[in-house]
Amino acid sequence: MNTIQMPQSGVKKFFALALIMALASSLFVIAPQTSSAHGYVEGPASRAALCKSGQNQNCGSIVWEPQSLEAPKGFPAAGPVDGKIASANGAFPELDQQSATRWAKVNINSGPNAFTWKFTANHRTTNWKYYITKPNWNPNAPLTRNSFDLTPFCTDNYNGTQPPTTYTSNCNVPARTGYHVILAVWEIHDTVNAFYNVIDVNFSGSNPADTQPPTAPSALAASGTTTTSVSLSWNASTDNVGVSGYRIFQGANQIGTVSGSTLNYTVTGLTANTTYNFAVRAFDAAGNVSANSNSISVTTLAPSGPDTQAPTAPGGLHVMGAPTSSSIMLMWNPSTDNVGVTGYRIYQGSNLVTTVSGTATSYTVTGLNPSTTYSFSVYAFDAAGNQSAASTVSGTTAAASTAPAWAPNTAYAVGAKVTYNGAVYECRQAHTSIVSWEPATTPALWLLK
Ligand SMILES: [Cu+2]
């Protein structure tokens, strides 16, 4: 178990720093952010997670939504600007306060560690990456790219598929002593954004590191196979300290996690008459992971008779990110079906806008009017023409922007706003524009608002 070390007093110093930070941040206009929410690191607990649990104080509104630290993807070339890395670009400015004593710390050891994300919407994922501050970083200065070793110590690729609602990366944390900050980045596959979480850690060196992984689970077997599900069971692993849990893999992807005392898992949402491979791995509290169990291949049953069963309604339908003045991005979780989901129909009010494929989980509705509320419905359908019940959500477009259109051969100062392809961008570095430096392709120069 990781323990939490509370911040030491240094109260005077902290308030002086807080005042300076408050004055500094009041110089900037913080744009209201309505981004929807999608996940955070719960173990070792992120700065925002410790705000939610109350171990960090005076955190601002992040206590209600530690899952909302969203900014453009592509760190370190793009992503949140220096000084606003911990707040994912400033929507939660308290998180950018930085001193050796401002934040509670989680004790960890170098070597194998498990990083567990909790997702409120488990979107298709490109990867998770983990960075750590340099050995000689300054814990009393704002976090910048220069604070971090910009080569991630861990990259966990996920190939654009959908993770389970709780997902663990197993990483080797480099050797450090004392207080450091780990930056965990979740890169969403089908949007322009990523989620940025900092974790305040203390390398105590007090516990000898556990580096011995559990034995591999054995005798993995399948039972109760249906057209869309299969039940897996296995024999327990052993470990020098204790088995914390098991991870279930379908092909290369982790599809679920169970506790160390659970020796079975039911896989659902499969497609009929299709072959899948499964394996299970055990892990311990230090994040050591066993070798794979035996792997098994299972073929789901073919449907008998005509298919009359409709897919489930798309779950978790939501508006993703901030709508522009003319577009709204919809996202949902995949429907399941006894045979397979062929596609989704997207309606604006009662009008069919489009049909997308059964593997799509997002669609951007365009051609909308500014400052207008729209109602959208999404239905899943299968190859036999069965259609699910509707999932419905409403969204409101942004006000029409008064910012001028972006143009080449123009001098832009930091903070200047322009419109480009219907979206508003803010200049992050003074420059004179040229053709090929359009805002959409130069994240180092322009921040999508
Ligand atoms: Cu989303």
Number of domains within the chain: 4
Same domain, 93 and 185: yes
SS3 for 16? helix
DSSP secondary structure string for all residues of 387-398:
BPPPEEEEEEPP
Same structural domain, 244 and 362? no
Co-location of 384 and 416 in the same domain: no
Contacts of 375 (CB under 8 A, 6+ apart): 348, 349, 392, 393, 394
Same domain as 195, residue 122? yes
156 and 45 share a domain? yes
Question: Quick one: 169 and 70 in the same domain?
Answer: yes
For 177, the domain range is 39-203
Phi-psi region of 111 (alpha: psi -120 to 50; beta: other; left: phi over 0): left
Judge if 388 and 432 occupy the same domain.
Answer: no
Give distance in angstroms: CA of 440 to centre of ligand 1.
20
Do 125 and 57 reside in the same domain of the chain? yes
Task: Look up the CATH number of the domain holding residue 113.
Answer: 2.70.50.50
Provide the token pair at 166: 């709780």
Residue 81 in tokens: 């600007």
CA distances from 225 to 298, 304, 310 (A): 8, 14, 20
432 alpha-carbon distance from chain centroid: 35
- Which CATH number belongs to the domain containing residue 426 in this structure? 2.10.10.20
Distance between CA atoms of residues 287 and 257, nearest Å = 13
Residue 101 lies in a domain: yes
Q: Are residues 57 and 112 in the same domain?
A: yes
Please give the Cα distance from 405 to 370 (Å, whole number): 16
- Rounded Cα distance between 95 and 51, Å, is 9
Distance 314 CA to ligand 1 centre (A): 13
For the chain, 449 residues long, give each residue's pLDDT as a single digit of tens.
Answer: 444 554 444 434 444 444 334 433 333 333 333 335 789 999 899 999 999 888 898 999 898 889 889 988 999 999 999 999 999 998 899 999 999 999 999 988 888 888 999 988 888 899 999 999 999 999 999 999 999 999 999 999 998 888 888 898 989 999 999 999 999 999 998 778 899 999 999 997 655 667 788 999 999 999 999 988 999 999 999 998 889 889 899 988 888 888 889 999 999 888 888 999 999 999 887 778 899 999 999 999 988 888 888 999 998 898 887 788 889 999 998 898 888 899 999 999 999 999 999 988 889 999 999 999 999 999 999 999 999 999 999 999 988 878 889 999 999 998 899 988 877 888 988 999 998 888 988 878 888 77
DSSP per-residue string spanning 227-283: SS-EEEEEEPP--SS-EEEEEEEETTEEEEEEETT--EEEE-SPPTT-EEEEEEEEE
Distance set, CA 133 to CA 106, 138, 175, 413 (Å): 15, 9, 11, 31
Q: How far is the CA of 341 from the centre of ligand 1 (A)?
A: 20
Same domain, residue pair 61 and 136: yes
pLDDT for 205: 67
Say how far apart CA 447 and CA 440 lie, in whole Å. Answer: 9
Q: What is the pLDDT of residues 245-300, one digit of tens each?
A: 898 999 888 888 888 899 999 998 888 889 999 999 998 877 788 999 999 999 99
Residue 57 lies in a domain: yes
pLDDT at 28: 35
Indicate whether 376 belongs to any domain.
Answer: yes
Q: How far is the CA of 268 from the centre of ligand 1 (A)?
A: 22
Pairwise CA distance, residues 293 & 234, whole Å: 9
186 and 43 assigned to the same domain: yes
- CA 319 to ligand 1 center in whole angstroms: 7
Looking at 169, 203, 237, which one is the last position of a domain? 203
Asked whether 266 and 197 are in contact (CB, 8 A), the reply is no
Indicate whether 437 belongs to any domain. Answer: yes
* CATH number, position 259: 2.60.40.10
CA 320 to ligand 1 centroid distance, Å = 4
Residue 318 Cα to ligand 1 midpoint, Å, equals 7
Instruction: Note whether 71 and 143 are same-domain residues.
Output: yes
Q: What is the pTM of this model?
A: 0.65
* 285: phi then psi, degrees, rounded to nearest 5: -65, -25
Note whether residue 12 is domain-resident: no
